[in-house]
Amino acid sequence: MHCELCLSDHPEDVLCDNVCWTQVGLATEEVEPPAVDLTGQTLGHYTLVRRLGAGGMGTVYLGEQTRIGARVAVKVLHPHLAHDESLRARFYAEARTVNVVSHPHIVHVFDISEAPGGIHYFVMEYLEGVPLSRLHRPMAPTHLVPLLAQACDALHAAHRCGVVHRDLKPDNLFVVRNGVGPPSLRVLDFGVAKARRPPTEDETAAGIVLGTPAYMAPEQWAGQPVDGRADIYALAVTAYYMATGQLPFERGQMAELALSPGPVDPPPPHVLAPAVPQALSDVLLRALARRCEDRYPTALHFKEALLAATLPPSAVAHPVAELSRGLTPVPSLPMLETEGATPEPGTLTPPLTWVARVRRRAGSGDVEVRCTELNKGGLFMCCAEPFPRLFTRLEFTLLLAGEEVECVGEVVRHVDFAQARTWNMSPGVGVQFINPSPRLRDLIHRVQPHRRGTPPPPAPPPEAHL
């Protein structure tokens, strides 16, 4: 089926929805919402510049903040649904859920409001890139797995907050290109997300299932309670589809998959796509297990298995969760050529860098590391393995605009040497700021406009070690 919204082809049982609000039953027909285009109108402080896409619950517009011209994405509830109190509550629940989790790989929501005329909307960061569904399939595992690992980080954070996404699919995973750095991923649309709480009356109505059929776990198909393992299943379906170009189960197998008392196994991915290592194939098959008890217990375990399946044996001697808590600085890696492409001379601008002095846990002094990808949410510290464990709390002093500012952050991402080589960057860890001070936010805003044409400060001496 050719999707006019994302201009790509999808299997028949994929309900493409770039805004990604989908509400389906075990037997459902899609109903097109009335065409309402608010382009040119102003909602609060935001002018709607153009329509980006529409889904079952709302329409997303490119917006501009009228006072400073900043670009944002504005999601507007369909007017014909605004009179339904339960639908309004579900619409606003998405914004609240995103803010509760607050993770670098989950799209950020800035504002939520109602405009005159009963127009309900919330404002998100505007992302430049494409959904995963728009990328070429089959996708090389070396490019796919790092993106899946970032999705796992986001899911693990959501699950720790008691939130299950319930509608993961390629359209809801947005790949953002970060200048000369590696692509990063954002998880979109928590519109049908569910917190761990007693279900409401409408959620327990007979035959009602929330999600997208091709990606739903068997227990979700059957209307049973779900937890984070349902998201692991959906991410595994996504991985299978992107790695092989095919879904693990045909449309006619969905009911069988949900209701059969025995296992219903898909073809191993490495059989369909020889580029998929058998180890990765085995990881995906476990994550696609019919019984949730047979899948990976957490998204973090799934991430570790994905990375281990695509790294050389020497690189996986220590599982991610068991790595030591040290930081070892490394010099910057040279820009590496991407597969099948040779960059023109002078086309790559070195990324702007900053220096952070990280305090050691043992109290034996500080260690200096070079930092890149600074933004209001966090930064990337260039360092060598072994990395600090995920969710390790780091205290450090960051030099910005000639001023030292104290920071606290949490490690939320690992980029090992193999991933760094693929992405043309240094290995290291992504750090999310914890309660950044007003001064830190002000300094970040000050240095952000000067990314291009500003020479980076010198890198710390490569001989520095813990």
Q: Which domains does the chain have, with CATH numbers?
A: 35-125 (3.30.200.20), 129-310 (1.10.510.10), 328-450 (2.40.10.220)
pLDDT of residue 154: 92
Asked if 61 and 50 touch (Cβ cutoff 8 Å), the reply is yes
Whether pLDDT at 294 is above 90: yes
Whether pLDDT at 135 is above 60: yes
Whether pLDDT at 396 is above 50: yes
pLDDT band at 362 (very low <50, low <70, confident <90, very high): low
Whether pLDDT at 193 is above 70: no
Whether pLDDT at 334 is above 80: no
In whole angstroms, give the CA distance from residue 220 to residue 165: 12
In whole angstroms, give the CA distance from residue 182 to residue 416: 13
**Burial classification of residue 40, based on how many CB atoms lie within 10 Å of its CB (0-12 exposed, 13-18 middle, 19 or more buried):** exposed
pTM of the model: 0.61
Whether pLDDT at 402 is above 60: yes
In whole angstroms, give the CA distance from residue 325 to residue 385: 10
Between residues 74 and 385, the one the model is more confident about: 74
86 closest CA partner among 212, 210, 188: 210
Whether pLDDT at 315 is above 70: no
Q: Tell me if residue 363 falls in helix, strand or coil.
A: coil
pLDDT of residue 111: 85
Whether pLDDT at 293 is above 90: yes
Asked if 143 and 123 touch (Cβ cutoff 8 Å), the reply is no
Q: What is the mean pLDDT of residues 287-296?
A: 94
- The residue annotated as part of the active site, out of 17, 153, 167, 171, is 167
For all residues of the chain together, what is the average pLDDT? 75
pLDDT of residue 323: 30
pLDDT band at 7 (very low <50, low <70, confident <90, very high): very low
167 assigned to active site: yes
